[in-house]
Amino acid sequence: MYVGRIVSVGLNEDNHIGATYRVSSRSFPNRRAVIEGQRVSIVPKPGYEEDVHKNPYIAYNCVRLPCEGLVAVVTNGSHTDPIAEKIDAGMNVRDALILGLTALDYEKDQYNTPRIAAVADTRGEPQGWLAVVRRDGLEVRAMPMRPSWCFFVATYERNVISAELTETYVPTTPDAACTEILEKGVFASLTNPVTAVAALHDGEVFALAAKDAQQ
């Protein structure tokens, strides 16, 4: 099944929260993730730079770590930055998600691609959020975090937030989290993986990793 881009948020067995993003694409598979400090960007691979002129939505920051790295914002588009900046300025996560997604709305491509987001918040007890704006509506939800499970939402087919869209979540490193969303469990049946990015808290800071799908 092709569901497009995916974001997830979950707690591992050590009660450490993480947020993960997977790029799945049929039209623009020649992309990679670049980690630069506390942000990660999705960009075309060398030789495919002209793809950004074919589709303006394929290059963007997909991860930001606001609030001095205590929060991870993970999304499938340019809404990463305004959501992270609002949280960094003191806005609560729910309102930052609502404002960022409402302002930019779903992508105006031929598929009316939804914008999706996950937020992992370590200020106090770990709290995870999922959000999506589609052509037919907006959803923002705090998810019931419990160890060894994650919740996810995708751009197509699985683009309604549900407590039933779960998968086991046991990575102890961000690299392992990337592997999980690319090729394990329910994610193994979801087609056209390209690359994945994960932010996983280790009890002190969020560590970042990126991994390309096996071709």
Residue 24 placed within a domain: yes
Query: CA dihedral defined by 91, 92, 95, 100, rounded to 10 degrees?
Result: 60
H or E segment and range at residue 212? strand 206-212
Backbone angle region of 87, left / alpha / beta, with phi > 0 → left and psi within -120 to 50 → alpha: alpha
Query: CA dihedral defined by 185, 186, 192, 198, rounded to 10 degrees?
Result: -70
Residue 1 placed within a domain: no
The answer to whether residue 88 scores a pLDDT higher than 80 is: yes
The string of pLDDT tens digits covering residues 56-68 is 999 999 999 999 9
pLDDT value of residue 168: 94
Here the tokens at position 190 are 């979801």
**Averaged pLDDT for residues 77-92:** 98
Q: Which domain holds residue 150?
A: 6-212
pLDDT value of residue 117: 98
The string of pLDDT tens digits covering residues 149-162 is 999 999 999 999 99
The answer to whether residue 215 scores a pLDDT higher than 70 is: no
* pTM over 0.75, yes/no: yes
The answer to whether residue 189 scores a pLDDT higher than 80 is: yes
- Residue by residue, DSSP assigns 58-102 as S-EEEEE-HHHHTEEEEESSTTHHHHHHHHHTT--HHHHHHHHHH
pLDDT value of residue 38: 95
Q: Count of domains in the chain?
A: 1
Residue 102 carries which side chain, given as an amino acid letter? T
Residue 156 placed within a domain: yes
Residue 124 placed within a domain: yes
| CATH code of 46's domain | 3.60.20.20
Residue 146 placed within a domain: yes
Residue 177 placed within a domain: yes
**Mode of pairing for the β-strands spanning 193-201 and 17-24:** antiparallel
Mean pLDDT of the chain, nearest integer = 97
Residue 86 placed within a domain: yes
Residue 56 placed within a domain: yes
